[in-house]
Structure 1
Amino acid sequence: MPDLPPLRFTGAEILLPEGFAREALSIAGGLIVEGGGREIDLTGYRILPGIVDLHGDGFERHMAPRRGAVDTPAAGLAGLDAECGASGITTAVLAQFWSWEGGMRSPEFSAVLAETLAGADTLTDLHLQLRVETHMTDSFDALADLVARAGVTYVVWNDHLPHKELAAGKRPPGLTGQALKAGRSPEAHAALLRSLHERGPGVIDALASLATRLAARGVRMGSHDDHTAEDRAKYRALGADICEFPETLAAAEAAKAAGEPVIMGAPNVVRGGSHSGKVPAERLVEAGLVDALVSDYHYPTLVRAAAKLGDRMGWAAAWRLVSGGPARLMGWDDRGRIAPGLRADLALLGPSGRVEGTICGGRVSFLSGALAARMLA
């Protein structure tokens, strides 16, 4: 799909690093430029840098609308692309599990999705994050091969095994449902979990070896759901310097004290707290501990979270958490701000505060309502 022709938006409020300013904004050749282009009056609208979402697993609904009804990734990506556009997202990182959970969270599906993304032509700039279960040590060679083959640049460690129950010889909660989702019998699933749990003593050495291989390829690494400062220190020693969804204030403070970026979920902000009783994201934002908010399981909450925080801390600071902050965290210096020479990645909000248009790299990924009438006139 070709770029938009040169355009000059006038009358809108443009979000700059210091706040909103009413000035003209021109785009041409997929970039923000100094001037020129066909003029479009956007009085009443706000133009903000496109959202950079570093962790979203809501794409799973597009791949499998119902349990077991797994669509082909290529078909699912079309719906995902549309939802990202409708949510003001111009860069999206898909948080794909590499997990014992099986099905769409299996290493096999991870490989299919990675290879599909490598050849996809989407309007949204899509990237892949692999969320690796730490105890799946026998799959680490296959993981390293996929990273090299598909050019994966972001890996996060997490451990969701029910260690407490497994150590006590008890049946883990929800085991039957997990087994059915994975396509295993409850007995086979329980046996798998026990065998993974028993690998505990050798896990750190295996992770260290894999992390060394990934670091040599320039892969960014992080950890997910750190509960204590000791958790953060453990993953820091592996070169995982991104702290995703810390569960406690102590874990977030440990990351920040070491100069490490902290990522939290926008749904947590919108809901006013964690649905599982962990530290509220707003508390960490107010303490200056958060560098990026991400969609987690629901793409539309990014705009809602930024708007909620914007009323309290100012839009420039709040929007930085969903655009400039995440872009800087990943070293993407061509996006996240509105300035000449950067990508024309823009979210256009109507008078109601709803996303009415999204431009990604100079291409329209979403257009609706009165904005569509103005731009198509």
Structure 2
Amino acid sequence: MQDETPANLRLHGAAVLGSDGLEPRDLGLAGGRIHAAADGRMIDLRGFWVLPGLVDLHGDGFERHLAPRRGMVRDLTASLPQVEMELASCGITTAWLAQFWSWEGGMRAPEFATRLAHALQDTSAERRIDLRMQLRLETHMTGDAPAIEALILETGIDYLVFNDHLPHDRLETGRTPPRLAGSALKAGRAPEAHHALMQALHEQAPEVPAFLARLATTLSRLGLHLGSHDDPDAQTRASFAQLGATISEFPTSKDAARAAHASGQPVIMGAPNVLRGGSHNRGGIAAEDLIAEGLVDALASDYHYPAMIGAALALVERGTLPLSAAWALISAGPAAIMGLKDRGSLTEGKRADVIIFDPATKQVIGCFAQGRPVWIAGPLADRLM
């Protein structure tokens, strides 16, 4: 992070979100922290809301900045500031970029994951937003443990989830995998070679449990947070929990979510699912149903950064949750999952990760990370000028 000391500020006249909802009060920022008695430059925020910055545990909206079109992968170091600006404009002050380590190739290949991890490390001193990487490991990459462990040690990756995107039912019966030509094109392979690779990985299934157990043990010793993606049922959730992968990310059944919740394991769902009123996958579960049942600990942006605030407001408008509880799903909840006790709410002593929100337009008009401005726009920019 940058070394300059942030200015002391007093945010005046806004409705500030606390545990009981919005309340009119001033909020002080001093030394990058929330400080009720801070005495500094006063900013008139009458008519606006002051809210905690968002914590996004899984988002891949960054891809459009790094590769605007297929095959056009830009200089990652030069592109990351654009990612930071989009995050800030959506009120996100802490974010994990969800990056595959996969047989699927292209931007999901191990080579690309390595490039991105090093780019994040090399540019960390230039950023104001806390930007990290979630490694999404395909479970059948059984020969890659040394490379994965080396990358984690070199770049400080702190979060890994297990995925399995192989079409096992098709491969088991000898049928052609769905969308083979398109996925082969993305990977830069001939369809026949891509199919052969998937078949070979599928046949490694007997080796996968031992591989995952060894790797999970090593990663747990390194202090990583571990999870699994798209748990289809309670049995799968239990098997990953036994490995130490206690986070259930985007479970695809109520049974999986209920099993995780009953065992005290965090459940993360996608914010776009809430906005849509259900999963984009046929037969998928609706995140809002799980939220109403008290099974969800956090919402993540998934593929669309603006969806986090949109989902929280939708939950309020539909009467599912009050604002304080809905906002906790995108701030305090995800912060708690990752053990980040210094952020997620506007309480004394916590990081001054603060967003200014215009309820009339439902737009973020200001974003501060550790008390430093990252995004200023609209009527807030007018007032400051």
TM-score range, shorter chain: over 0.9
1:255 and 1:335 map into 2 onto residues whose CA distance is 25
1:54 and 1:357 map into 2 onto residues whose CA distance is 21
Residue 193 of structure 1, CA deviation: 0.3
1:25 and 1:93 map into 2 onto residues whose CA distance is 28
2:70 and 2:247 map into 1 onto residues whose CA distance is 32
Aligned partner of 1:226: which letter? D
Aligned to 1:224: 229
Verify the 8 A CA contact 1:310 1:319 in the aligned structure 2.
Answer: no
Would you say 1:112 and 2:115 are equivalent positions?
Answer: yes
Would you say 1:303 and 2:306 are equivalent positions?
Answer: no
Residue 351 of structure 1, CA deviation: 3.3
Deviations 1:250-305 (A, max 9, x none): 00001001110000000000111101031000000000000000000000011100
1:189 and 1:15 map into 2 onto residues whose CA distance is 51
Residue 21 of structure 1, CA deviation: 1.1
Alignment equivalent of 1:369, drawn from 357, 378, 384: 378
Alignment equivalent of 2:254, drawn from 241, 249, 257: 249
Residue 3 of structure 1, CA deviation: 4.7
Aligned Cα RMSD in Å?
1.0
1:183 and 1:141 map into 2 onto residues whose CA distance is 25
Aligned to 1:355: 364
Alignment equivalent of 2:76, drawn from 65, 73, 76: 73
Verify the 8 A CA contact 2:101 2:135 in the aligned structure 1.
Answer: yes
1:100 and 1:191 map into 2 onto residues whose CA distance is 12
Q: How many residues align?
A: 376
Aligned to 2:64: 61
1:285 and 1:347 map into 2 onto residues whose CA distance is 24
Aligned partner of 2:142: which letter? T
Aligned to 2:296: 290
1:101 and 1:67 map into 2 onto residues whose CA distance is 14
Alignment equivalent of 2:351, drawn from 325, 328, 343: 343
Residue 12 of structure 1, CA deviation: 0.2
1:41 and 1:364 map into 2 onto residues whose CA distance is 16
Aligned to 1:259: 264
1:310 and 1:75 map into 2 onto residues whose CA distance is 38
Verify the 8 A CA contact 1:98 1:107 in the aligned structure 2.
Answer: yes
Verify the 8 A CA contact 2:101 2:113 in the aligned structure 1.
Answer: yes
1:32 and 1:233 map into 2 onto residues whose CA distance is 40
SS at match of 2:243: coil
2:340 and 2:122 map into 1 onto residues whose CA distance is 21
Moved more, 193-202 or 345-354: 345-354
1:11 and 1:81 map into 2 onto residues whose CA distance is 28
2:276 and 2:83 map into 1 onto residues whose CA distance is 23
Alignment equivalent of 2:19, drawn from 17, 20, 27: 17
Deviations 1:217-258 (A, max 9, x none): 111100000001011011111110000000010000010011
The percent identity for this pair of structures is: 52
Verify the 8 A CA contact 1:310 1:317 in the aligned structure 2.
Answer: no
Aligned partner of 2:155: which letter? A
Aligned partner of 1:246: which letter? P
Aligned 1:125-274 pairs, distance under 5 A:
125-274=130-279
2:246 and 2:359 map into 1 onto residues whose CA distance is 40
Gaps of 5+ in 1: none
Residue 87 of structure 1, CA deviation: 0.2
The TM-score, its normalising length taken from structure 2, stands at: 0.96
Aligned partner of 1:25: which letter? L
1:106 and 1:65 map into 2 onto residues whose CA distance is 17
Gaps of 5+ in 2: none
Deviations 1:25-48 (A, max 9, x none): 011221111221111111100000
Verify the 8 A CA contact 2:7 2:372 in the aligned structure 1.
Answer: no
Would you say 1:46 and 2:54 are equivalent positions?
Answer: no
2:168 and 2:249 map into 1 onto residues whose CA distance is 21
SS at match of 1:237: helix
1:351 and 1:108 map into 2 onto residues whose CA distance is 43
2:117 and 2:158 map into 1 onto residues whose CA distance is 11
Verify the 8 A CA contact 1:54 1:326 in the aligned structure 2.
Answer: yes
Deviations 1:130-180 (A, max 9, x none): 000000111121101111111111000010000000000111011111111
The TM-score, its normalising length taken from structure 1, stands at: 0.98
Aligned partner of 2:307: which letter? T
Verify the 8 A CA contact 1:292 1:326 in the aligned structure 2.
Answer: yes
Verify the 8 A CA contact 1:358 1:365 in the aligned structure 2.
Answer: yes
2:371 and 2:113 map into 1 onto residues whose CA distance is 30
Aligned to 2:7: 5
Aligned 1:18-37 pairs, distance under 5 A:
18-35=20-37, 36-37=39-40
Misfit runs of 4+, over 4 Å: none
